[in-house]
Amino acid sequence: MKKLFDPLFISYCAIWIIIHGCRRLGTPIPLLNGQLTDFIAVPVIAHLALTFTRTVILRDSQYTYPLSYLLFIALYTTVLFELVMPAFSSKYTADMLDAAAYLGGALFYYFVHQRSWKMKTHTT
């Protein structure tokens, strides 16, 4: 479980709490309120899923997701939140910038988060 709470994952959660807390208080943070929560959505989903995959399914702490898996998560999230949900609820709006943020988050997770984790585990 220690691997679940790495500094980047904690940062994603803190960012989400701060942005949503400010929204609820009626004081959204300019520049961060738009797509930042969408950008970190895929890394959060991927990190939770990868931690589960490593500890429960494969029992392999070195396993990482290939880029295709992360792009699938971004595509699935885009379809769900930008196409399907707006059709059922006025709370959701289709926004292609959000889709770009999901894609950016997937790329960030693959090229930065997973690689930084791999470097830490190979040096310790």
Instruction: Provide the residue ranges of all domains of the chain, joining segments of one domain with +.
Output: 2-123
Looking at every residue in the chain, the average pLDDT score rounds to: 91
66 with 45: CB under 8 angstroms? no
Q: Is the pLDDT of residue 2 over 70?
A: no
Residue 111's nearest CA partner among 119, 122, 123 is 119
Q: How many Å apart are CA 16 and CA 110, to the nearest integer? A: 20
44 with 12: CB under 8 angstroms? yes
Q: Is the pLDDT of residue 120 over 90?
A: no
The residue type at 117? W
Q: Is the pLDDT of residue 124 over 80?
A: no
Residue 30 pLDDT level (bands cut at 50, 70, 90): confident
74 with 42: CB under 8 angstroms? yes
Per-residue pLDDT, 121: 62
Q: Is the pLDDT of residue 29 over 90?
A: no
Total-model pTM: 0.89
92 with 81: CB under 8 angstroms? yes
The tokens for 61 are 């702490």
Residue 5 pLDDT level (bands cut at 50, 70, 90): confident
- The mean pLDDT value for 68-90 works out to 97
